[in-house]
Structure 1
């Protein structure tokens, strides 16, 4: 049974709710004097990216070429239906509301991908340079990458054919497998994680960068944010389901993988530090959610549990690398989203139902078509984000002054305080 259009609309609302949830999650992790600034980076992304997507982003993210050329169409025409005028008229006439449902669903992915990046530059980024970066990154990176990964056409029989180069990669290489990225392991998490690493390098370390500086100011706020993210993630992963059976499998995996992620993280944390923390549990849940994103429709629950355990444990260790390697990824976007995004995407090459190396008869095809897009998108996102961030930093300045940073940037940037106690 095909799911109706309102399924997309309901799940789009769930995914949009994730970005305020991300604001809570990030807001609780920073200092008390930076919580407003941190949350504004997410809400700013909602405002700007939401508008850009409706004006031209949705058009850029759709390509209709299905030829077998080695240089396939990689970008839609941003002016093909500028401002969705034609799509709105079709919906008004009851002749195409499904297109708008897909567009609104896609907009929420664009918004949260950009918002995720902001966690890497917490406590030191100016608001309007961030907004400039958000607009340029969405236009030059996310919208094209979305066309590579998510763009598809539907034939008269209702069958979908992916039209971006990632979707066509297997056929171009003459392989028996196609790239699997059901909900955005590459387009969302690897994309955002690579950009976060680039921006962290551009802006440099916070004043007094240390483990002490990284302590959250409001643990309950972090847990509330993680809960909202998990709730919304059922829409994030399940919105693109085409049948009730597929949606059920996705929902099972979206529960069990992050649950295992919690266990993987807190067990690792216990053996490493002697204590399991609530921040670790929340981070483990998010790690499991990231890892299952590309794989939610293509794993059995047992392999989803293993994925969550592995991702939770690995990311619990990966978040410490910033102190050893000397880059200041404030809220561990790299250690969670980039690392878990890679784990979930590549894991499919081994354990995808019927096509993985260990679940599909020892065929390497699935692994090959998972590796190439993961590294290609990471490289493209990193380079573009580094260039965009550097240009902004060298021209109008991206980072606040050191005295403002030390004092707390909420009052300096927004004239507000997160906690007015007098």
Structure 2
């Protein structure tokens, strides 16, 4: 818990500082007087004066701000009028406002480039298991198949494959995958992702397809306290040997059975030298209008096979920078596509995350090591940049829209229009925050 909290504070602290420093640095270069540089909102916990600028750390670490001299906010000394933000040309205003998101983009680019140059541990996109009667099996996938390209885009890891699948789903209902089978043959698989509808954009996409990235065994690694499996008497270390009287060859067969919903199932499990017969009734869970079963189990991974799936991606500096820019381009496009599809109802709003989820993933990435945390930091920095550039009043993108209008018309947007825009922007942001918090709480307590 403490590590999660610290990782969350460090993450927000770094991202907010970089973002606000972008505004600050360009404002100073444009001759604008900066009054306050604040990390956090609310009552200042720590404040010091350096030159003309008051620097402070405030109580609520969910953002920050750079306050500049502005005649619209308070009277300005005649000697400083030329240094007021509102007196600057539209081009300078645009540069100052855009500098925050650009700083976050640059941070993401440098972090990704550094990771690619140092080397990133990754998992080769091998199908560990394929669920019976799943979309993947119908497309011809078999355990051991290695995905080499998606829609003619080479992929070297499951991370790249997952992003390419989502990106491809935004363009067409049918996605083409180049595959090398376990025997070395090169074949093509076609996945009709259009059949999944909105669920194509869920984090559990691979499970929906019937693909398991990990080589799973039928041994149980973890039993969720209070879950259906725990109530039936299953324990960590048990090995499931049969399902409803039939030998269980792979964990994917059990996952397939759960698609039938909360139907009682008979499991034979080996515990030590004995085999026990247990009956378990899965908990009903609704996913996209369909009720499936949930046991509350985590299977163990075949560690020997898992080692063969691991790889390391490492590039020379220039190639690392190129790979970084490519990754940023793909993720930015994917973010905008998913955002647009949420607006028109083609992607679920369940994917919107708030501070609790961000804190959870920050803590998890920190526990996985420095490389994982840096990659997570780069992703959140990129997301912050894209979000801030959306043309919504109160965000940087909204201000850029106003200054763009001023550049085209030769006069600033009227205070009345700004006031209306602020009310609309505030309403939208509050609704988004409420949705994100609701999703966070739902994930926290209901999974």
Q: TM-score, normalised by structure 1?
A: 0.25
Higher RCO (CA < 8 A, seq sep 6+): 1
**Structure with more strand by fraction:** 2
**Structure with more helix by fraction:** 1
